Amino acid sequence: MSVPAGVFGGEWHEHDDRWTAVDKYTQSHLHPSTKPYHAALNAALEHSRDKGLPDIATHPVFSKAMALQCLARGVENALEVGTLGGYTSIWIASMNPNIHVDAIEVDPMHAKVANENLERAGVHDRVKITIGEGLDVLPKMLDGVEKGTRAPIGFTYIDADKENNWAYFDLAVKMSSAGALIYVDNIVQRGNIVMEDDTDDGVLGARELVERVGKDPRVEAVVQQTVAEKSYDGFLMAVVL
């Protein structure tokens, strides 16, 4: 899949010609433009860019990797915290015809663009966006899970304001079924997670998450470093025990 020009072109992304070439090669074979979901996914990135959303959508390779995790596990209920233009939700819903995704987005303009993208992709009936702060919306969802009026979650993707990573993760664990997966984006931050004098919100949020998750008996977790056309970064992946 070739990404529309300018979507991942931000100067702040760390680029390497080898990473970009490998992405281009593998994507051209594994999800070429002949795939039925290809046009809608690229259209979502282009529409998001045209509407001025920040150039921080999750890279197609990682979005697809999460969509395939849902497929492998037969996940029926997924949760996304910080959906931006809905790009990862479209991947997840496209690869999983029976999945329902609850997506939370704090910015009403982003949510409007996301809904337009979901509609164009034909997955709007299975991806529901709730507009609000994660810390307001998630406790209400948890209440529903605890009362039995809402199904437990099998897959969660957290990609929102990084200072609340731990709070979102903790709530997601409480909403999850045994064996559920939780992914959190932007943990490595070009390696800055280990730069002790880096006090950027994203770095502090990533560090707090890694250190608290490591002591959390409810989960087993790992951080995978990633390189791609977009940047050097990485995910935390946890399995709820």
Given the rule CB under 6 A, which residues bind ligand DHB?
Answer: 12, 56, 159, 185-186
Query: In the complex, what is the shortest distance from the CB of residue 77 to Mg ion, in angstroms, rounded to a whole number?
Result: 22
- The residue from 159, 168, 180, 209 that contacts Mg ion (CB under 5 A) is 159
Rounded distance, CA 49 to CA 24, Å? 21
Tell me: does residue 23 bind Mg ion (CB under 5 A).
Answer: no
Query: Buried b vs exposed e over 191-213: b needs ≥16 C-beta within 10 Å?
Result: ebbeeeeeeeebbebbbbbbeeb
x-marked contacts with Mg ion along 41-60 as a string, rule CB under 5 A: --------------------
Query: In the complex, what is the shortest distance from the CB of residue 123 to Mg ion, in angstroms, rounded to a whole number?
Result: 20
Q: Toward Mg ion, which CB reaches closer, 21 or 86? A: 86
Q: Scanning the structure block, which residue is given the tokens 């990573």?
A: 165
Query: In the complex, what is the shortest distance from the CB of residue 37 to ligand DHB, in angstroms, rounded to a whole number?
Result: 21
Query: In the complex, what is the shortest distance from the CB of residue 105 to ligand DHB, in angstroms, rounded to a whole number?
Result: 13
Beta-bridge partners for 220? 239
Q: Toward ligand DHB, which CB reaches closer, 102 or 185? A: 185
Rounded distance, CA 123 to CA 9, Å? 27
Q: Give residue 71's identity as a one-letter amino acid code.
A: L
The token duo for 205 is 């949020």
Rounded distance, CA 66 to CA 63, Å? 5
Residues in CB range of 36: below 8 A, 6 or more apart? none
Binding range to Mg ion, per CB under 5 A, among 62-70, 102-110, 184-192, 199-207 = 184-192
- The residue from 92, 185, 223, 237 that contacts Mg ion (CB under 5 A) is 185
Tell me: does residue 186 bind Mg ion (CB under 5 A).
Answer: yes
Rounded distance, CA 1 to CA 187, Å? 25
Rounded distance, CA 1 to CA 36, Å? 12
Residue nearest to Mg ion (CB): 185
Query: In the complex, what is the shortest distance from the CB of residue 10 to ligand DHB, in angstroms, rounded to a whole number?
Result: 7
Enumerate binding residues for Mg ion (CB under 5 A): 159, 185-186
